[in-house]
Amino acid sequence: NRQIVLASRPTGAPIAANFSLNKVERPIPQQDEVLLRTVYMSLDPYMRGRMSDAESYADPVAINAVMVAGSVCIVEQSNNDDYQVGDWVVAFGGWQDFVISNGVGLIKLSDQLPNKSYALGVLGMPGLTAYMGLLDIGQPKAGETLVVAAASGAVGSLVGQIGKIKGCKVIGIAGGAEKCQYVVDELGFDACIDHKAADFAQQLANVCDNGIDVYFENVGGAVFDAVLPLLNTCARIPLCGLISQYNATELPEGPDRLSLLMGKLLVKRIRMQGFIVFDDYGHRYNEFMTQMSEWLLSGQIKYKEHRIEGLEKAPEAFIGLLKGENFGKLVVRVGEE
């Protein structure tokens, strides 16, 4: 049983030495327990927060403990009447080959699901995040302008496509020409602006000629600076993530812009609301699954995976996620289907 544990806490960007691959005995399930074998494992930005011991909405991973992750697993052995050998489940299994579960919190996957790894993306946590963040907090209306950052990624790609279904003008922001082209040509956004371009703020202002009504925030930093002056009266900002700041060790340089932000929120009556997906919307999972499965099946929603082969590659792939090296939802194939 291979496990990747947190060897040390990063200062700034994580490095390979923060992780360690250990080999341990395969665990044995006791009464009412099942042994799960990991087939796919999700890599997500929130894991950077768990590597740090700063106060957050969830406890940090302890030093020498297995890194946390959502995973798609097969039941290998079962002492639990609710699970049979060969069942597919979504678990919070972590960065390892095998994990024991007492069944609590497992979600059984239907045999009909053609791509089991989709349960970690479009039909899983990132999908629920996009769906609820946009529809419940963003409240998009037909004809409005929606801007979404990290637009080619797991959450952003879905936010923009749902926005199109709801009749919005949708502008993506992504890193590099290839991602921007994909967002427009394949996902059907109206435009996508490269945040690495020297005149990024000007380009964004040009395409948002009627201002911004909904800004789905995934990144923060310089991208938010460019969005702020374009926000319309009564704009909504689902505050989902701030990935550009996750490796930061101190506040950004430059003048303090807090009063600028608060003044803008006040006079434009803007509503900005953070959310933590399962805490706030876990109870609406079935509603999301029904609608998203329908959209996916009908081809109205497209989905791209960035798949890595092998558990041992997970640290490198995760370090790359925080630098924009993934193109689509990052998933590791840990074992055979």
Binding site for ligand NDP (CB under 6 A): 44-46, 126, 129, 150, 152-156, 174-175, 179, 195, 218-219, 221, 223, 240-241, 243-244, 275-277, 321-322, 324, 326, 329
Judged by beta carbon, residue 57 or residue 209, the one nearer ligand NDP is 57
Give the orientation angle of helix 285-298 with respect to helix 154-165, to 10 degrees: 80
Tokens at residue 327, please? 């193109």
Q: Rounded distance, CA 56 to CA 72, Å?
A: 26
Residue whose C-alpha is closest to residue 77's, from 35, 30, 37, 108: 35
Which of 54, 47, 71 is CA-nearest to residue 241? Answer: 47
Nearer to ligand NDP, 98 or 215 (CB): 215
CB 286, min distance to ligand NDP, A: 18
* Least CB distance to ligand NDP at residue 138 (A): 13
Angstrom distances, CA of residue 108 to CA of 2, 52, 69: 24, 31, 17
- Closest separation between CB of residue 84 and ligand NDP, Å? 31
- Rank residues 27 and 320 by Cβ distance to ligand NDP and give the closer one: 320
Q: 176 with 326: CB under 8 angstroms?
A: no
Which is nearer to ligand NDP, 268 or 302 (by Cβ)? 302
Nearer to ligand NDP, 96 or 326 (CB): 326
Min separation Cβ 98 and ligand NDP, Å: 25
Minimum Å gap between C-beta 45 and ligand NDP is 4
Phi-psi region of 319 (alpha: psi -120 to 50; beta: other; left: phi over 0): alpha
Within 13 A of 222's CA, how many CA atoms are on the CB side? Answer: 14
Please report how close the Cβ of residue 238 comes to ligand NDP at its closest, in angstroms: 9
Q: CA–CA distance from 224 to each of 23, 124, 150, 201, 205 (Å)?
A: 43, 27, 12, 10, 13
How near is the Cβ of 30 to ligand NDP at its closest, in Å? 33
HSE-up (13 A, CA, CB side) for residue 256: 3
The residue among 14 and 29 lying less far from ligand NDP, judged by its C-beta, is: 14
92 touches 58 (CB < 8 A): no
**For residues 117 and 326, which CB has a smaller minimum distance to ligand NDP in the complex?**
326
